[in-house]
Structure 1
Amino acid sequence: MHEASYYHHEKNYIICDLCPHKCIIKEGSTGFCQTRLNKDNVLYAENYGMCTSIAIDPIEKKPLYQFYPGYSILSAGTWGCNFSCKFCQNYKISQQKAPMRYIAPQEITKIALSSGEKNIGLAYTYSEPLVWYEYICDTAPLIRKAGLKNVLVTNGFINSLLFNELLPLIDAVNIDLKSFNNDFYSSICSGDISFVKQNIEVAIKSCHTEITTLIIPGLNDSEEEIASLSEWLAGLDADMPLHLSRYFPNYKMESPPTPIRTMYQLQNAAQKYLKNVYLGNMPQI
């Protein structure tokens, strides 16, 4: 285990400072993300270096469409998440422990270097990488020193001061903006949109940024909401790529897939404000 970087003590418990949940963690317990354990009054990142998934993916799969298109990237993920999205596509690693193995920062850097001429670097992805914070902080400088790129695929729900500390090591980020309605964040994800919006503003000032929104029927699929979301993003950068991704039932959500017609309607609504709006999880025509 590896001691967590950001926490403080109050009375007989620990408060984790990594994300806005500010979890109160008693002896022998973990926080919301399940990765931070209070043992003997020290907070440990139990998932440090622990990989549940590792593969070489097209960079477009992250999705990043305007960052080294046509290239690939080594992608690695741990377990745990500081959201509990009812529609999670990777719930077997985000909401529970899965089979895993330890890969030291030096070893994963060597793997990235040996992953072929088309590989541009390492993406921290699959589960929520920000609960892998200490490992990324140790690994990203090695990746950068090797002449490779660091990519984050994240929900953006982190203490903004810590996000600012990490971003100088990051070359590109895709942030899930899951809705433009905080009731959605609260009831569906156990989160708060205000922190995500703040961190999108932080990210675009530091590195290449793209946004993904999963479109779920009856929850965030109105033209008014997507227009508002797109108008807000355009106020930051009208060239920022937005990926509207088609939902399919998974985990605790059984609603039918998003109608294809809805996807095209929402793309049209977004394109009134943004220049680069892409559709994902769509049938190939």
Structure 2
Amino acid sequence: MRVARIQTGLGNGVVECGVCERRCRIKPGGSGICGNYVNVDGKLYHFGYGRLSAVESRPIEIKPLFHYWPNSTALTFSNWGCNFYCPWCQNYHLSFRRPSESDEVVPPERLVELARARGDEGFSASFNEPTTNFDYVADLAELAVKEGFYFMMVTNGYLTRAALKLLLDLGVDGWSIDLKGCPGMRVLRGVDHEKVLKNARLVIEEGGHVEIVYLVVTGVNDSEECIDWVLSRHLDVLGPSVPLHVNRYFPAYAWREPPTPLEKLLGVKRKAERLGLEYVYVGNLHDPELETTYCSKCRRPLIRREGYRVTYFKLSRENGKYKCPYCGHEIPIRGSYVPGKTLLWL
């Protein structure tokens, strides 16, 4: 175990966890909602530190990040537990299980060695909610970035600002943030979706890269009112150039509503583009046309993707910035394009 970086003593041995906006108040001998942080004699420890559930090399496009180190691969790792417990979770076998003393502890140094051996360009904290693995992620990020790797997270974005700022300072600059929906949803009550957007804004202000994922879940966040809120707040808080991934939901775990209708997804895309969002993708359909990056000015195709790999890349680069070769419009891309990597999983 590691002593938690961010904690506040509240008296009588009670401690508040400062990692996520749940801000669990934990009594001695107890744990927070995610099961990863425990109170031992009035001090907060990261019990789940390094107790990993999966380690794989995976394409960055599967995160999804389409404007961040295109065609690279990231050593992707996860732990156990979550702070949301969505009833439609695809990875419920990881997210709904708490860490155990019997789990092997993997030191950060071992993952850096593995990423180097596999030829990965970076790291991705993913699969379950990586905020629950905060202190391990921080240690690994500090080590990995010094070794020349990029570091990104796939997250619900519900970190405290203190936790978020610490990761940004350590070089975690890629953020795939899942915006679950809008105020008034009948599930995930108590979650403040505005805080997620404000965190995404902070990442941008601190120089990081953000792409928003909106999983349109049947019967949860698919009403026109919810769609309008998500799109308008995206535009107002983040701006038109931040990519939006409108993804299809499929039944999983305890949520058995039918998959999101295709027309619903296409309608969200059309509405987003009418509002002025420049990069809107539709995911979980495996349709290359809906995952192609077009110049937001001249509408020429610039990056084409199939099977989570880049199959066409037509951008010029000047002074570290990518531009449309046809009209010169700047295209927001973080990191370098990695040509020639065709394997889906290494």
CA distance in 1, matches of 2:103, 2:266: 39
Query: Does structure 2 retain, via aligned residues, the 8 Å contact 1:167–1:203?
Result: yes
Spell out the pairing of 1:32-47 with structure 2 (5 A cutoff).
32-47=33-48
Gaps of 5+ in 2: 289-346
CA contact (8 A) 1:223 1:269 kept: no
Q: What's the TM-score, normalizing by structure 1?
A: 0.92
Partner of 2:246: 244
Indicate the residue corresponding to 1:102 in structure 2.
Answer: 105
**Following TM superposition, by how much is the alpha carbon of 1:190 offset from its aligned partner in structure 2, in angstroms?**
4.9
Asked whether the equivalents of residues 87 and 249 of structure 1 are also in contact (C-alpha less than 8 Å), the reply is yes
* Bigger mean CA offset, 18-27 vs 125-134: 18-27
Change (3 A) 1:197 1:143: same
* CA deviation vs aligned residue, 1:193-239 (integer Å, no higher than 9, x gap): 13212101111222111000110123212344323322322232211
Runs of 4+ in 1 over 4 A off after TM superposition: none
Aligned residue in 2 for 1:188: 188
What is the number of equivalent residue pairs in this alignment?
281
Superposition map of 1:1-285 within 5 A: 1-9=1-9, 10-97=11-98, 100-116=103-119, 119-168=120-169, 169-179=171-181, 181-184=182-185, 187-188=187-188, 190-205=190-205, 206-235=207-236, 236-272=238-274, 273-284=276-287
Q: Which one-letter code corresponds to 2:197 in the other structure?
A: K
Contact 1:3–1:44 (CA under 8 A) maintained in structure 2? yes
Which runs of no fewer than 5 residues in structure 1 stay unpaired? none
What's the offset of the Cα at 1:189?
Answer: 6.0
1:39-96, CA deviations, whole angstroms, 9 ceiling, x for partnerless residues? 2222111111111011011110010011122121110111111112121111111121
Distance 2:96 2:161 in 1: 24
| Per-residue CA distance 1:219-275 (angstroms, 9 max, x = gap) | 212344323322322232211110111011112211111111111111111112211
SS at match of 1:201: helix
Shift of 1:282: 1.1
TM-score (ref. length: structure 2):
0.77
Counterpart code for 1:257: P
Identity between Structure 1 and Structure 2 (%): 33
Whole-angstrom CA distance in 1 between matches of 2:188 and 2:256: 13
Amino acid of the structure 2 residue aligned with 1:6: I
Measure, in 2, the Cα distance between the counterparts of 1:192 and 1:251: 24
Q: Describe the SS at the equivalent of 2:232.
A: helix
Task: Give me the whole-angstrom Cα distance separating, in 2, the residues matched to 1:108 and 1:86.
Answer: 31
| CA drift at 1:165 | 1.9
Structure 1 CA distance, aligned partners of 2:233 and 2:191?
19
* RMSD after superposition: 1.8
Structure with the bigger percentage of helix:
1
Q: Name the stretch that deviates more: 275-284 or 241-250.
A: 275-284
